[in-house]
Amino acid sequence: MITLSGIAASPGIVFGQAFLYEVEKFKVRRHQISEENVAAEIAQFKEAVAKAKGEITRIRDNVANGMSKEYADIFSAHLLLLEDPFLIIEVTKKIKDEHKNVEYALWEVLEVLSKNFEDLEDEYIRERAIDIYDIGKKILYNLVERKRLGLEEIEPGSVIVAHNLTPSDTAQIDKSKVVAFVTEGGGPTSHTAILARALEIPAVVGLSNATLQVKDGDTLIVDGLRGIIVANPSQTKLEEYTQRKREFEAFEAGLAKLKDLPAQTQDRYRVEIAANVELIEEVSLAKEHGAEGIGLYRTEFLYLNRNELPSEEELFKTYQEAVETISPYPVIFRTLDLGGDKLPYHLEETGGQIESNPFLGLRAIRLCLQHPEIFKTQLRAILMTSKYGKVKLMIPMISNVEEVRKTKAILADVMKELEGRRILFDEKIELGIMIETPSAAMMADILAKEVDFFSIGTNDLIQYTLAVDRGNEQLAYLYRPSHPAILRLLKETIEAAHREGKWVGMCGEMASNPLFTVLLLGLGLDEFSMSGVSIPEIKEIIRSTTLGEAKELAQQAFTLSEADEVEELMRDRLSARFGHIIDMTKK
C-alpha cells in the first residue's frame, strides 16, 4: 500500500483502477512481412521520414519567427540528421533482409541506439546519437500514430494518472469511463482541476512522481477532499474510506434540498448563483444543481482537437442548445479564449508562432482582433442564438480600453451584416468584459462606462497580479486569493462598476471557495458563478448569513496586511457555523 499527498482539486471519494496516460507510449507489434510487401514497407518508412521533415521544418520556421535564429539552427541540424545514412540504411536493411515490419524495424534500431549511446566516450558522437534517437522517435510516432494508447481506449472505472493533461486531452475524456484524475503537475486552478469540478469527477493534482509510483491496473482510492491517493489499499483502509465516502454522499444529499431556493441572505439581500460550463452536457447538470443561469460558457473547446475551424452553423446549433436548455435563465458566452494552455492547431498551421510565454502572448481577445474573420463567425453565431433566449456576450483578457472599442466596432459590423441578411437577433444584447488583468482592474472606472457588466476572473487576476504561475504545483503556496493586493483590486473593481450602475459577477475559482463567500458578499459582489457541484454549499452559506455581518467581516479583513491573517479571520468567524462545509469541500 502506498499513500501519496498532493493538492485537492475536485471533491469526492472514489475507488478505481489506475490508467497511466503517457503521450509517448507506443504499441509496437512485431510481425513478419512477405517479400512482395517489402517495397510497400520501405515506402511507408520514407513517407514517415518525409512527414517528420515537414514537422521539423514548421517548428524551425516558427522558432525563427518567434524566438531566435540560434534556436532555429538546432532544428536545421535535426533536418540534416534525418538524412543520416545510419538510420535510413539500418531500418531499410531490417525490412529488406529480415522481413520485419517497418515499425518494429525502426523500434529495434532505436533500442540499439538507446542502449549504446550512453557508453560512448566521444561527447560529440554521443550527442549526435541522442539527436538521431529523438528524431527516430518522431518518425516512429508518425508510423504508429493510429496505434498510440489514447484516452479513447480507457476502460470503465478508470483513474487517469498522468504527468499532466492538456485541454485537448481532457476534451476527449469519456465521463462514463473515468472516475477520477490524478496528475503530477497543476494546481487547484489549473485547467485539469477546473474541468474535473465541471464534470463532477474527483481529482488530485500536484502529486509528484505519481506516474513512477503507480502502475497500470493498480487499485486506487482517490480522496479529492484531502488531496490524497492510496494505491493498493489494505482492507482496513478500504473500510475507512468506504465510511468516509458514505459521509460525503450524505452531506451532498443534505444540500440538495436547496436546489430551488434563492441565494438570499437572512436580511433579504439577493445575489445570483450561476454555473461555469465548457461542454454542452454540463448545462443540464448545472440546472439540476440550482444554477440560475450560465455565468461563464467557455466556447473554445469547439476549436480544439480538429484540423479545421468550426462553421457558423455548427457554433449556432451548439449555442442554441445551451440557451434552450438553461431557459428561462441567461447564458453568458465568453468569446474565444484560445492561446495560453489551449493551442489552436489550425491557427499554428496558418501562420501562428511558438511563443516563449503564451500566457502573456497572443491569446483571447488579442488573437480575435488579429483574426477578425474567425471572431466575426463566432459573434454571428452568438447573436443568431439570442432570439432563442437570454444571451449575453463577454470578452476575455481585456487589458485596455482600445480593445473594448475595437470589439464594439466589430460587433456593430456583424450586427449590420445580420440585418442585411434579415436575421433576427437581440439588438440590445448585453456586452461585458472579464476583469482578469491588473490593468483592467485598475481602469475599472473607465471600462465600466464602455460595457454593461464585469465578471472577475480571479484565476488569471491572481496569477498576473502576484506573478505566480497558477499551474505550477511548486508555487501553489504563493497563489493566495486572500492576498491583500487581490482584495483591494476586487473592492475597487466592484465599487467602480456600481458607481456606473453596472453589475459585477465572479467566474473565477474564488467564487466557489466557501471560505470567501461571506467576504465577497460584503464586498458587494452581485453574481457568483462556479462549477455546478459547488452551488449547493455556496447557496447554504449565503442563506445562513446577513449582509450586515458580511460587510463587517469585509471591513475587518481590510485592516489586515497578510494573506494568512485574512484566512485565519475567515476561519475564526465562519468555522462555528460553516466548518462542516469548509472541511468537507476543502479547496
| pLDDT tens digits, 244-258 | 899 888 888 877 888
Q: Is the pLDDT of residue 355 over 60?
A: yes
DSSP state at residue 18: E
Residue 148 has pLDDT above 50, yes or no: no
pLDDT, the chain, mean = 85
Residue 368 designated active-site: no
Chain Cα centroid distance, residue 377: 23
pTM: 0.69
* β-bridge pairing 391-395 and 294-298: unpaired
Distance CA 200, CA 275 (A): 13
Residue identified by cell 460587433 is: 411
Q: Helices 563-584 and 235-255 meet at what angle, rounded to 10?
A: 100
From 320-329, 373-382, 567-576, the region with the lowest mean pLDDT: 567-576
Task: Indicate the helix (H) or strand (E) that contains 393.
Answer: strand 391-395
Task: Tell me the residue ranges of DSSP E strands in 140-289.
Answer: 158-162, 178-183, 203-205, 219-223, 228-231, 272-277
Q: What is the pLDDT of residue 307?
A: 63
Per residue, the 3-state secondary structure of 450-466, as one string, reads: CCCEEEECHHHHHHHHH
How many other C-beta atoms can be found within 10 angstroms of the C-beta atom of residue 206? 25
Catalytic residue among 78, 483, 507, 580: 507
Average pLDDT over residues 408-431: 97
501, burial (CB in 10 Å: exposed 0-12, middle 13-18, buried 19+): exposed
Beta bridge partners of 100: 32
Composition of the chain by helix, strand, coil, percent to 5: 55, 15, 30
- Tell me if 95 sits within 8 A of 42, measured CB to CB: yes
Q: End-to-end CA distance of the chain, in Å?
A: 26
Mean pLDDT, rounded, for 562-579 = 88
Helices and strands (H, E) in the chain, number of each type: 23, 16
Beta strands in 252-366 (DSSP E): 272-277, 294-298, 331-334
Annotation says 498 is catalytic: no
State phi, psi for 178 to the nearest 5 degrees.
-100, 125
Instruction: Determine how many CB atoms are found less than 10 A away from the CB of residue 338.
Output: 23
Pick the catalytic residue: 78, 191, 371, 483?
A: 191
Indicate the SS3 state at residue 260.
coil
Contact assessment for residue 307 and residue 318, using Cβ atoms and an 8 Å cutoff: no
